[in-house]
Structure 1
């Protein structure tokens, strides 16, 4: 099969990693793959380094020109972002390929869902990365296939791990790690308040927050200063290899208010870490019933109590982490994800 994936995101987050995983797996299975990606962006650079053909695009207009020029060159065109699917929906009448859209979000205002229905319905197959991400399309009468995102073990670089330990003063501390952009939907302010509560009974605790700046960055840094948490909450910025940060952790924490799946939680589970996460979206699917601890979104007190339990019950928490590790290794593997997409593409082309 000749397969073109579309992803013009400027950064490197879960969706971009999944795009690259899928392309690499499809190519290994013998298919001809290509990628339209943001010119000069991290996805384009990593795909090129992996030997994948990349069509660099500066924006939606450039992508539209590419799709028109390539409309007879591909059997499947797969939009990995909502922006790309919007473009495919408008170009649907002139495109000969089967169109696939992978939905990676689970926050839906009712009026927005109604507006999105037309666009979603233009795809020949709508894929959701979790049951939570599938809920909105199904609620408006569309079929959605669930193909979960996948993770691979993130190998840590010992030298980099030690450098981070020294840089952020982690020696002799019990370390919470979160990997999330400083954006409102990731809710760093609630996590900061939880750490503030924790330090009263666990004065050796420290949170290492790995993630790029976003719209909540200024408020998060200001709150750390206001609470005098500088010795208990450190901003590490974006880290290219999350495995280095996970190697430092005693517990992984996610305070997201919305999460279609949560690949950072998957990474932590695959590393065998005990996880405390908010009871939203895909977190529930990953951690229920006994593979992690869930807390209500926005409830810093509940998050603090659950992290305290992990810190105070190390043996039981370790067993919990091992259960999650075994589950994620089986249910969220890259080969399983790639095989599911390969089967989907084949069904569309045979139809």
Structure 2
């Protein structure tokens, strides 16, 4: 698994720099860490405290150090200086930055002296208002200038960056999921699985149609659109229930806006039991790179309804797009798609089986991890690159 020019007595060291430390990004980084430690690499993870990444990386066998780059430009420079000191101590052969803040800090600290992979996960200029978006575009252009490779989770994400004149050395690596952790359960025991989840046991009647949304409660994930659609869903399917799994800054506002039949489960340790308990999984995002939650649900054999943003279309087999995709911020279209599938159990079963087949063939996390290692191998295969990394310590 190591680049062929590395001396056999030397262990390849990869430094992952990540901010934020929760949500789908943390799951992606933790998965890469597990696979790279198993491949024999020395892995160091630098990230802020909190979230789930520190614990997951430590359990996987990585060396974990505290680092953050929050706040103003001045504190960002301070974070970059701390990162530069950390890099000198860790001595990585390659740095892999995750998220826009981490990417900017690595750009300031490294300036191309060490092979650098930048993985934005989501473009920040898709989230901001017009003025902030222009600033974000300028920042991303600077960041990718120093990156030897920019990893996107979908061709749509790459195209969005290119359209904003973010000129990266692109690699498109579709998101993958751990097919050992996310797998179908026995549908004959679905009610039993619901009864094992306290948030459902006392709130959702036995046999009621259940729609599950697993996502951080924030503007990006679009739960406010889902709540506006839910009134129309229950008008057509009166006994249907919706569960929002996750926590986040919009929790209080979503609580106030929620109609009857909506359950807030809060943050959970693992999403797989919720997918297996569901009849249908929904993710009404406003923007994405390629979201993990739909892939996880598909790996559990569940049909999904997604907004047609980011890599949503690319994560589906072409013959399922019409049933699964709706426009973003369109409550009526979302309600119609949910209602159609809730009213057709046989169609849900067939769609879930088709999506399961697809995710197993196209979105296995082991394949994604192997592709990332191939990117590392490519960057480190030429001896002058390795020499330059040594000089940059």
TM-score relative to the length of structure 2: 0.81
- Counterpart CA distance in 2 for 1:58 and 1:260 is 23
Aligned to 1:83: 101
Cα deviation for residue 170 of structure 1 reads: 4.3
| Counterpart residue number, 1:270 | 299
1:8 aligns with 2:19: yes
How far does residue 59 in structure 1 lie from its aligned partner after superposition?
A: 4.7
Number of the residue aligned with 2:344: 313
Alpha-carbon separation, structure 1, partners of 2:241 and 2:284? 16
Please list, as runs of the form range in 1=range in 2, the aligned pairs for 1:41-80 lying within 5 A after superposition: 41-57=51-67, 59=69, 61=78, 64-71=81-88, 73-80=91-98
Give per-residue Cα distances to partners, 1:276-314, cap 9 Å, x unaligned: 111111111112522351111111111111111111221
- SS of match in other structure, 2:311: helix
3-state SS of 2:29 partner? helix
CA–CA distance in structure 1, aligned partners of residues 313 and 102 of structure 2? 28
* Segment of structure 1 superposing worse, 106-115 or 81-90: 106-115
- Alpha-carbon spacing, 1:38–1:183, altered in 2? closer, same or farther (3 Å): same
* C-alpha contact (below 8 Å) 1:77/1:99 kept by paired residues: yes
Q: Hey, what does 1:34 align to over in structure 2? A: 44
Task: List alignment gaps of at least 5 residues for structure 2.
Answer: 1-11, 71-77, 186-191, 383-393
User: Which of these residues, 144, 154, 178, is aligned with residue 120 of structure 1?
Assistant: 144
**Corresponding residue for 1:143?**
169
State the alpha-carbon separation in 1 of the partners of residues 356 and 50 from structure 2. Answer: 35
In 2, distance between residues paired with 1:167 and 1:74? 51
Would the aligned equivalents of 1:5 and 1:35 in 2 still touch at CA under 8 Å?
A: yes
The match for 1:181 is 216
Aligned-pair CA distance for 1:316: 1.9
Is contact 1:161-1:248 (8 Å) kept? no
- Pick aligned residue for 2:116 from 99, 108, 126: 99
| Counterpart residue number, 1:281 | 310
Change over 3 Å in CA distance of 1:119–1:288 after alignment to 2: same
Measure the CA separation in 2 of the matches of 1:197 and 1:221. 18
Deviations 1:68-99 (A, max 9, x none): 24337110110011111101111234x74211
Inter-CA distance 87–198: structure 2 relative to 1 (3 Å threshold): same
Shift of 1:195: 1.2
Structure 2 partner of 1:217: 251
Q: Which residue of 1 aligns with 2:367?
A: 336
Name the CA shift for 1:255/1:52 in 2 (closer, same or farther; >3 Å): same
- Quick check: 2:152–2:170 contact (8 Å CA) kept in 1? yes
Q: CA RMSD in A?
A: 2.2
How many correspondences in the alignment? Answer: 343
Unaligned ranges ≥5, structure 1: none
Q: 1:52 Cα deviation (Å)?
A: 1.7
Write out per-residue CA displacement over residues 103-125 of structure 1, whole angstroms, 9 at most, x where no aligned residue. Answer: 21145366232442121111111
